[in-house]
Structure 1
Amino acid sequence: MVVCMSLGSVTVPVREGLEIVFHKLTGTGIPGNIDESLVSILWEIRMPRTFTAFFVGAALSASGVIMQSVLQNPLASSYTMGVSSGATLGVACVIMTGFATSVFGMFTLPVAGFVTGFITVLIVIGISSRIDHNMQNHTIILFGMVFSLFVNAILTLVSSLSSEHIQRLVLWQMGSFSGRRWIHGIIVAICAVIGGILLMFMHRELDIMSFGDEQAMSIGVDIKKSKIILLVLASFLTGAAVCFSGIIGFVDLTVPHMVRRIFGSRHKFVLPMSMILGGAFMSLADMISRTILSPREIPVGAVTALVGAPFFLWVYFNDSKK
């Protein structure tokens, strides 16, 4: 994070950066030998952006751990449950109708994305539990994919009726941390920390569920209740991340795999380390997105995909040789 906050179109020396942070946190005056423009760049632009990127990555990675463990599928993610489709539909409705409210102000778009994405997951979980009382994994994944396609069809219809707003919607879908402020980072951080703490209370259930539903039931785990709680928490984390960053893929897929290879499969270690490495990876991806073609900025989702796709090819072929 220190490196990401220092590098950019204007380089902020680490020593001066640490001095700025110290004086800002303590409320003392900034020394005269430090350029005021560096203070503004670091404290008002880069730090909030990096802070937000870190906790978005942490939330997405923790969500990926839960989805892969609960559904016993290495390719599972909250996006499988329709979070991205639902959030995009909510954002599209706000953009294309011009809806605004004084209650949420600048948070109208993020709130719409979070609420609709979360509602989509609740619908998937609710109908899956009605179709299959035991909520078997293939039922959840299958209905999640079907419902996601259905929501995407509605999104396509809405977009075709208001083509002048498509560019803004596409830019939101690409993912970006441009313009993020401290309030955005603080909200995402609170959601990520709360979600992470709640998940840590269930790390034993996750360890047991990784061996399959039948083994977990034989030990005495309430599979249906545990799945609902874990899926809702994972979707909450994803929704909180997506609403401030747009759709950013591959982080929730690649980071949990890397962590399991390094630290083993015990969720007592996998969960916190996934959040830390996921946050670091997202911060690094954001730095690359804003520096590689500076002063132009590329979508951070493109950076994570360029790294994630080759990684999954390596995982697939490496496992197939064993």
Structure 2
Amino acid sequence: MGNKKKAVLSILLALIIIGIGTSAGSSNINLIETISILVNKIFFIPLKEGIDPKNIGIVWKLRLPRVLLAFLVGGCLATSGAVVQSILKNQLASPYTLGVSSGASLGAGLIIISGIVIPIVGSFTLPLVGFLFGLLTVYIVITFSAKIDRTMSNNTIILSGMVFSLFVNALLTTLTALFSEDMKSITLWQMGSFAMKGWTYVKLIIPFAIIGVIGVMRFTREMDIITFGEEQAKAVGVETSRVKTKLFVYAAVLTGGAISLSGTIGFIDLIAPHAVRKVFGSKHKYVIPMSFIFGGSLMVISDLIARTVIVPSELPVGAVTALIGAPFFAYVYFRKKR
């Protein structure tokens, strides 16, 4: 089967997963009813008879925005993961290697502890500060890497990211120890959740997704060339340092935007790109968009498990992705070792 047919099937499967995610929950709603409600809201087609008005509110105001937010967050993380893995030529690398999550967590921790609210932004002060801190950390890592190694070798970037991540995590740990009463709030934010996040959050993440994905898609040819080696890329005229820097910035925009609105959620950025390369091969014109689709679908499934496995309570979605991702991480590592 060709890649185009696989892509169409993947998109159809993603739509089915979104439909199931919107239907299932503590009060299950028939999939046909869910489709009828969505068609009515989007295309103004009359509702199917006998639908409970309460179900309309559940589907449109609670579940659909949550599912779409999960899909977009998962897509952003997976796309960012595909970029970082390609540039660093390491299947076990992730955007968190650059320190995005550490920076965002520190920013969120500072807002939780201080209780500061920016007047114009209001309740979105925490996501905004988290995003800015994540972006700032990546900027510091890239600048530091360029200063000590003009070629910005992969090992230099990885080591710089690890050092700054450890340093920033140490700062957050110190703050948490000093303000132990806020420890629970910081921990819950770090574990990630899509609970009680409506259409406003969906609207906020869309610009990050559009800017990040379009920005990355502009460099699919360069990424294809870089995978054969940086020396070969330079020989055919690719400015590897410039391309790396721009791609890291777009990856930071995708990851920073995602985790600032949902909290730190791991492993999606590792699993989805790996699965996509198995199905579609290594051409980035397929890897990038399909990573978005696969990552979004996997996040919707993880969130569905998180909110249905112990009804009426729910698990942090980061815990579910870790339970799925940790064995996968071990599988990839030992398979690569063999």
Match runs of 1:263-274 below 5 Å: 263-274=280-291
Q: Is the 8 A contact 1:52 1:189 kept in 2?
A: no
Q: How does 1:178-197 map to 2 (within 5 A)?
A: 178-197=195-214
Give unpaired runs (5+ residues) of structure 1.
Answer: none
- Structure 2: distance between partners of 1:65 and 1:110: 24
Aligned pair partner of 1:43 in 60, 64, 76: 60
Identity among equivalent positions (%) equals: 48
Instruction: Read off the aligned partner of 1:222 and give its amino acid letter.
Output: E
Q: Which residue of 2 aligns with 1:20?
A: 37
SS at match of 2:332: helix
Q: Hey, what's the Cα distance between the residues in 1 that align with 2:278 and 2:21? A: 26
Residue 96 (structure 1) aligned with residue 96 (structure 2): no
Query: How many Å separate the matches in 2 of 1:51 and 1:130?
Result: 40
Q: Which moved more, 1:34-43 or 1:20-29?
A: 20-29
Alignment deviations for residues 223-269 of structure 1 (CA, whole Å, 9 cap, x no partner): 11001000000011000000111000000011111110111001011
Cα-Cα RMSD: 1.3
Q: TM-score with structure 2 length normalisation?
A: 0.92
Q: Where does 1:216-235 land on structure 2 (aligned, <5 Å)? A: 216-235=233-252
Instruction: Quote the residue 2:134 is aligned against.
Output: 117
Residue 122 (structure 2) aligned to one of 105, 117, 136: 105
Q: Map 1:127-276 to 2 at 5 A.
A: 127-276=144-293
Number of aligned residues: 321
Compute the TM-score of the two structures, normalised by the length of structure 1.
0.97
Post-superposition offset of 1:78 = 1.2
How much does 1:102 deviate? 2.1
SS in 1 for 2:90: coil
C-alpha displacement of 1:159: 1.4
Distance in 1 between residues matched to 2:121 and 2:30, nearest whole Å: 37
Structure 2 residue aligned with 1:305: 322
Structure 2: any 5+ residue segments left out of the alignment?
1-17
Shift of 1:49: 0.3
Distance 2:75 2:56 in 1: 27
SS of aligned partner of 1:197: helix
Distance 2:108 2:115 in 1: 10
**Is the CA contact 1:64–1:253 (under 8 Å) kept in the aligned structure 2?**
yes
CA displacement 1:145-168 (0-9 Å, x = unmatched): 101111111111211221111100
